Amino acid sequence: MSNIVVIGAGQAGSSLVAKLRADGFDGSITLIGDEPAPPYQRPPLSKAYLLGEMPRDRLFLRPEVFYAERDIDLRTGVAVTAIDPAAKTVTLGNKLLGYDELALCTGSLPRRLPDAIGGALEGLYYVRTLADVDAMEPEFREGRRVLIVGGGYIGLEAAAVAAKQGLQVTLIEMAERILQRVAAPETSDYFRTLHARHGVDIREGIGLARLTGETRVTGAELTDGSVIEADFVIAGTGILPDTRLAEAAGLDCVNGIAVDHHGRTSVAGVWAAGDCASFPHGAGRLRLESVPNAIDMAECVAANLMGAGKTYVPEPWFWSDQYDVKLQIAGLNHGFTRVVVREAEGAQSHWYYRDDQLIAVDAMNDPRGFMVGKRLLSMGKSPAPEALADPATELKSLMR
Ligand code: FAD
């Protein structure tokens, strides 16, 4: 094998090619991305970068010379439009590029509001790419009114940035509570209170009926019949794995591009990693949307491209920054039956149990809780809930 092509120059694609070279792969590597910028980190887009506290050049994952110095052919601003697994080629513009092995790191796409409810109006923004955020930044001026649709992490982070900059923020969440899909009611309560303290008007159990306006958005009609005026709107309504190329090429897709334990797709010579890929997990499949997953899975695929035969075992963790709160999450809380709340030394953490087993932790301004939780999860240990809840318990003692 001498020629590896990677589609998608994001977190996973960049990690994959770096790992290949670090592990001594000496064949040709081409990394193709349709965005104009070299690979960059997305998390600051809804946090420090949008706040104006992080300069643009600090977003880049690696300096551009990194790729040149390692003889990685980084091609930005160009989309792959088709894959032909039989001929082992990809289409770039009107050219074909051959490969021996191909990796798909195409990420995900924001769920867009349909045109029928105002999805084509000016003044509606998504938070996915650097270009998206650069386009909305001029709207973030004190006193303006923003409507945020969706109370997941992206919507809440955008709300925090807007409130910090003195905008009037209304956030609507169709589900009964913010963060319903990803967190326990205790964590929703914590963040609802935090946002209320900063003047954000959070309305739960209320969806968007339609955006109003002729060419530019002027507000929205909500599902409870109320009408709201807004100078601009941000939709944080979730993402979908970008499986367009894979599906067109006949690869199996189940909630993302379906891969096996090693990152192989259903078609020989084609691999996938990151947001776009779902992998076997328990009796089903799992797809994660996080930086740690993109890096770890991409590095696993890189090792396997060099014959390592490694199984991808995720150790899920995630973070979110809102105002002066850093939330750190370890584990997966799917199917939790109980939540133990621990408050100690100004920090708060929520520990998820499935029956007697510890499965996840949400730690708010509690790096120690996060570290200990992550460690307990990797050790497969489940401390007694009563001990955890007791602020007098020294967390580290729970690992013994
Ligand atoms: P991406 O980084 O999205 O890269 C995929 C790339 O492939 C994109 O550039 C795409 O344009 C390109 N591409 C797709 N199709 C083609 C094609 N046909 N040809 C060429 N190029 C193509 N995660 C965390 O863990 N913590 C956080 O706090 C956090 N905050 C986030 C905040 C925001 C605003 C966003 C958007 C995401 C955040 N995430 C966070 C999620 C994290 O950034 C993603 O999980 C991660 O970027 C996934 O990496 P990826 O390489 O799979 O996809």
Closest atom, ligand 1, to C-alpha of 45: 34
- Residue-wise pLDDT tens for the chain (400 aa)? 689 999 999 999 999 999 999 999 999 999 999 999 999 999 999 999 999 999 999 999 999 899 999 999 999 999 999 999 999 999 998 999 999 999 999 999 999 999 999 999 999 999 999 999 999 999 999 999 999 999 999 999 999 999 999 999 999 999 999 999 999 999 999 999 999 999 999 999 999 999 999 999 999 999 999 999 999 999 999 999 999 999 999 999 999 999 999 999 999 999 999 999 999 999 999 999 999 999 999 999 999 999 999 999 999 999 999 999 999 999 999 999 999 999 987 899 999 999 999 999 999 999 999 999 999 999 999 999 999 999 999 998 998 8
Q: What is the pLDDT of residue 148?
A: 98
CB proximity list for 77: less than 8 A, separation 6 or greater: 33, 34, 35, 36
Spell out a b/e string for 189-216, using b for 16 or more CB atoms within 10 Å of the CB, else e: ebbbebbeeeebebbbebebbbbbbeee
Pick from 362, 294, 321: which is nearest to 19 by CA? 294
Pick from 144, 140, 141, 208: which is nearest to 171 by CA? 208
Mutation to probe ligand 1, out of 290, 293, 322, 327 (largest number of atoms < 8 A from CB)? 290
DSSP string, 166-199: T-EEEEEESSSSTTTTTS-HHHHHHHHHHHHHTT
Q: Are strands 3-7 and 28-32 parallel, antiparallel or unpaired?
A: parallel
Closest atom, ligand 1, to C-alpha of 133: 34
Strand partners, 280: 285
Measured between alpha carbons, how far is 11 from 15 in angstroms, rounded to an integer? 6
Contact 109 CB / ligand 1 (< 6 Å): no
Contact 290 CB / ligand 1 (< 6 Å): yes
Closest atom, ligand 1, to C-alpha of 320: 28
In this structure, are residues 119 and 110 in contact, taking their beta carbons and an 8 Å threshold? Answer: no
Residue nearest to atom 44 of ligand 1 (CA): 290
Q: In a 10 Å sphere around its CB, with 0-12 CB exposed, 13-18 middle and 19+ buried, how is residue 351 labelled? A: buried
Measured between alpha carbons, how far is 323 from 194 in angstroms, rounded to an integer? 8
Q: Are strands 277-281 and 284-286 parallel, antiparallel or unpaired?
A: antiparallel
Measured between alpha carbons, how far is 363 from 345 in angstroms, rounded to an integer? 13
Contact 260 CB / ligand 1 (< 6 Å): no
In this structure, are residues 216 and 224 in contact, taking their beta carbons and an 8 Å threshold? Answer: no
Contact 128 CB / ligand 1 (< 6 Å): yes
Helix (H, G, I), strand (E, B), or coil: what is residue 361? strand
In this structure, are residues 355 and 296 in contact, taking their beta carbons and an 8 Å threshold? Answer: no
Residue nearest to atom 41 of ligand 1 (CA): 290
Contact 245 CB / ligand 1 (< 6 Å): yes
- 20 Cα to the center of ligand 1, angstroms: 20
- 212 Cα to the center of ligand 1, angstroms: 30
Q: What is the pLDDT of residue 1?
A: 61
Closest atom, ligand 1, to C-alpha of 276: 52
- 234 Cα to the center of ligand 1, angstroms: 18
pLDDT tens per residue across span 376-399: 999 999 999 999 999 999 998 998
Closest atom, ligand 1, to C-alpha of 11: 51
Strand partners, 363: 328, 349
